[in-house]
Structure 1
Amino acid sequence: MDIVLGIGTLLVVLLAMTLFLNFAPFGKEGLQALSGAACSTMLPQAFLSYALGEIFHITFLKDIGDLAGSLTGVAVGILTCLNLGISPVFAVIVGLVLKDFQLLPAFIAAYLVAFGLKYIQKKVPEGLDLIVVILLAPAIAYGIAKLISPGVIAVLHQIGSAVTAVGQNNPYALAVILGLIIPVTGMTPLSSMVLATLLGLTSTPMAIGAITCMGASFVNFVLFKELKIGGPSKAFAVAIEPLTQIDIIAKYPLQLYGTNAIIGVVNAIIVTVSGLVLNTPGMATPIAGPVVLFGFNEPVKIVITLVIVAVVSIILSLIIGKLIKKLNLSKLNFKTPKLNKQAN
């Protein structure tokens, strides 16, 4: 039952974010803000606090990293408003009051308030609009976040508990699911960092997220070169951060998503066998995640696992890439119905 519940919750979260991306007003812009906030706060915390501060005992860097990590609410509030076309000044006014809230409640509050701000920008005369925003936006944004935060956090904790239960009862079943989902999600605006954060992944599941994302970097680099997608600069860019090449990736969904899913499962099983753990949530990212592993595991075990995953990813992606070319599947694609453009 725990396996069904855990897998089900993973799929429900992914489905909900996919529906939001495709059908919510400014869904893509909203999720890009969510991903950007995670990158601008959690990545500095990962590198400065966990990778450098704790491992090398540099208190100054640890303090800076922890400060950045504590401002996810501010970051997502500001970026969400900016991505929805709100004035930078208004965006900061909203973002500042969300300081004490976690990523998702702050995002929901900012996303909803942004529509009211768009109306004020259009209807209220310039100059007077600032006063109206100051009087209304901070209180409304704070009130929404305060109201929904307990429920949202409780649901996320429940999901995290279900996922943990799966890992305890059948770690390989969880490895297969995470191996399928995490690398593919990292190639979409949903962002693997955001998904891992929302699920509250820690321990071996978080190590799976980090290392499968690293493996995906090798996979994407090889496939871009093998299938002649873009030039050398594009192959290098997608290996460093796949989110920078979303437009190109979307043109080859079957080849890239499919290959990453298959190899992701293999890599996830390798990580599970290794027994590596990562107790910092949100580290499903190609570079920071593997670096932070050194704060929680024996260095030799980490290096061996990373080398195995890198070699397996390169070999399997070369084999699959050559099969795709041999079977003339390089341009194979399914046409998806175009969505109506979202109103500005």
Structure 2
Amino acid sequence: MYDYLIIGHGLAGAVLSQRLLERGKKIMVLDQPQDNHSSAVAAGIFNPITGRKMFKTWRADEFFPELLQFYPIFEQTLGAKFFHPMGVYRPYFAIEDQNDWEAKKADTKFDSYIAHASTTPIAAHQLHDPYGGLFLKQAGYVNIVKLLTANKKRLTDKGSYQEAMFNEKEVVRDSDHFVYGVLKFKKLIFCNGVKAQQSDWFDWLPFHPVKGEMIDIALEKRPDTIYNRGVFILPFENESLRVGSTYHHQYDNMEPTEAGQNELKQKLSGLLDETYQVTGSRAGIRPATKDRRPFIGKHPDNEHIYVFNGFGSKGVSLIPYCSKLFTAHLLDGEPLDAELDISRYYSHYSAKPKD
């Protein structure tokens, strides 16, 4: 008998599996690798200062200390290297941005995230940064594919991983547990990204999927930090540099497109003034939500069916902290954060036509 059946082994499912295992729970992770995983193609960047006006990202003071603690420990557990804190350089768009940040130096709320500010261009690469920019700390990236590969091996060695399509119509309730084929488990958790939209249990949640595309490029000299303005340039281990990303709610397929690549090249021209070679492309569908907040919690009518999903493009930053809260809710009865709890959308479920 398993305590939890986790549907999906993207970043959400992998991190949650770790949280439950370290609390001594018996789990089974059911993965569907042929589906389009946003985790498998994501850049994995974590960045505390985002947006055109470079605001501190949502609840950074809670999320970033947890991710900086969690991933190095997870590396040790899995015996794999996938966490790469390396900083971000954010060129100013205009002299007004420079003046704005010069005025903010006295604001201590940014101290944890700003390494230093420059008022002159950097010399490492030919960037469009005539006004200088910000060097951010507590930023970098996670090689999500390496994390998932290492966690899959560990789960497989424990007999806690299967690759198979999941059909919720075959789940049978039997007194105090569920039965799915030969599996028996007490609770079910959906961590399967946009596929959760197709679930009869969670199709009422207002997902707002976003297609993101990236291109890989080669430069004569690799950066030693992430460049980010309009697009990012990520020096991804020993591979080509990754450039991204697009954000499109309307899309016809899950594959890279010529239009997406052209959009990225155009944006890249606003950041980089060097010759480069495109060496590849990739695309994925992010499980974003209407209110840009995760979906965490239990089904309104099924107290043993849960969702842990909807992390969008910020999964690397959000999932460690959110998984800690969710585990405390599951095992210790701690209340969920109101901004995360799907109870905020129970009215959508009530309005759903019943069979």
**Which structure would you say has the larger RCO, counting Cα contacts within 8 Å and 6 or more residues apart?**
2
Greater helix content:
1
Q: TM-score, normalised by structure 2?
A: 0.25
Quick check: which one's strand share is greater?
2
Give the TM-score normalised by the residue count of structure 1.
Answer: 0.25
